[in-house]
Each structure stands twice: as structure tokens, then as C-alpha cells.
Amino acid sequence: MSGKESFLNKVNFKTGELSVCGSHNKTYLSDIKDLFRDKDEVYKRLKENPLIYETFYPDIKENGNYVFYGITKIHPGKIGKEFFMTKGHLHIPEQITEAYLCLSGKGMLLEQKDNTVQKTLMEPGTINYVGESSFHRVYNIGNEPLIFYISCNADFEHDYSLLENGGFLDVVTVDDL
Ligand code: PAN
Ligand code: ZN
């Protein structure tokens, strides 16, 4: 499968799994340990090394005429006061926008553009449109897995440079609820 031919897929709303899946990636605390603000808590939790989030993508090749999609599942949990989250990135080219449809759970989309931060709720049925030049990260603020469908143009890359340059200006913690 490359995206050239039509195909049917099915997402399991409870597990996030796709019936036709080309890549399933798991991100553990050890993979993103530097991103959480409470360093003492990170150190304590590394022994257990919880699974933070998973992604499920079909094989659709990079092609500017194609649509790309996938599923992200963020497990429930916190490191200190900060909720489990994705890394957060910008799209290259920056004009590539993206839509998130929340399937289950409760989340918060954190966006940063021009040094301004915005937080938007995600719950089953919400569709978040991530506009141009927006760094975006998602937090699971609930007690169940947060599962959402993502879709965007199939020819883009992820830019994580913000994370090496001070990170997001704000985070999502229990104090946001
Ligand atoms: C999503 C994200 C997914 C993981 O598919 O890739 O939520 O995010 P990070 O790569 O920032 O950890 C998406 O936004 N794609 O563009
Ligand atoms: Zn994205």
C-alpha cells in the first residue's frame, strides 16, 4: 500500500488500533524525559518508564497530492503536575495545516505561534484545525486514553527545533483544570 490505490481502514475507538497499519510507534518517558518540567519527578518515574503515547499510521508515501492520516493515543497520567503529552512540533513547509478529530478521552491542544500560546479543549467530536506556522502539542487531561484522528497533506516533515530552544512558553498541568 502506498496511497495510490483506494483502501478501507477501521479504527478501534477503544484501543486506537488501525486494521490496516503500516507503522505503530511507542514513546516512553525515557524518550521524552527532558520535555517535562518537574525533573525530580522524571527521575523517580524513569524506573517504571511509563508508556506516554502511541501513533498508528497506514503506509501513505510522501506526495503533495495525497492526504495523510493516522491515529494518536496518549495514555492517562502525569509527571508531577504536568499531564502526559506528545513532543510537539511545527510542520515543514509551515503552510501545511492539520485537522484533529477527537474520538475518545479528553485532551488539551497547546499551540504556540509568534510567542503567543493558545490552549483548546479536545473531547469526543471536537475537530481542532491547526493553522499555518503553529507549533502544536497535545496533552491527555483525563483519566482514560485520549485517542484522536489526524489528517494533513502527505508531503511534510516534523520540526522539533522549539524543544531544543527553550521549549513551549507554557505547559498544561492540573492547575489548568
Ligand atoms: C500527530 C503527531 C502525534 C505525535 O500525528 O505526530 O500526535 O506528535 P509528536 O511527533 O509531536 O510527538 C501530528 O500532529 N502530526 O503532524
Ligand atoms: Zn502535526
Is the N-terminal amide bond of 93 cis, ω within 30° of 0? yes
C-alpha 43 – ligand 2 centre gap (Å) = 28
Q: Using one digit for the tens of pLDDT, what is the confidence trace for 10-43?
A: 999 999 999 999 999 999 999 999 999 999 999 9
Half-sphere exposure of 56 (CA within 13 A, CB side): 19
Note whether residue 12 is domain-resident.
no
Residue 1 has pLDDT above 80, yes or no: no
- C-beta of residue 81 within 8 angstroms of C-beta of residue 38: yes
Note whether residue 168 is domain-resident.
no
Ligand 1 atom index nearest CA of 88: 11
- The x, y and z cell numbers of residue 27, run together, are 514513546
Note whether residue 15 is domain-resident.
no
Note whether residue 172 is domain-resident.
no
User: What CATH number does residue 79 fall under?
Assistant: 2.60.120.10
As for how many domains the chain has, the answer is 1
Note whether residue 77 is domain-resident.
yes
Note whether residue 94 is domain-resident.
yes
Q: What is the pLDDT of residue 83?
A: 98
Note whether residue 177 is domain-resident.
no
List the domain range (segments joined by +) for residue 157: 23-163
Which amino acid does the sequence have at 97?
T
Which protein residue has the closest C-alpha to ligand 1 atom 8?
86
- The x, y and z cell numbers of residue 52, run together, are 506516554
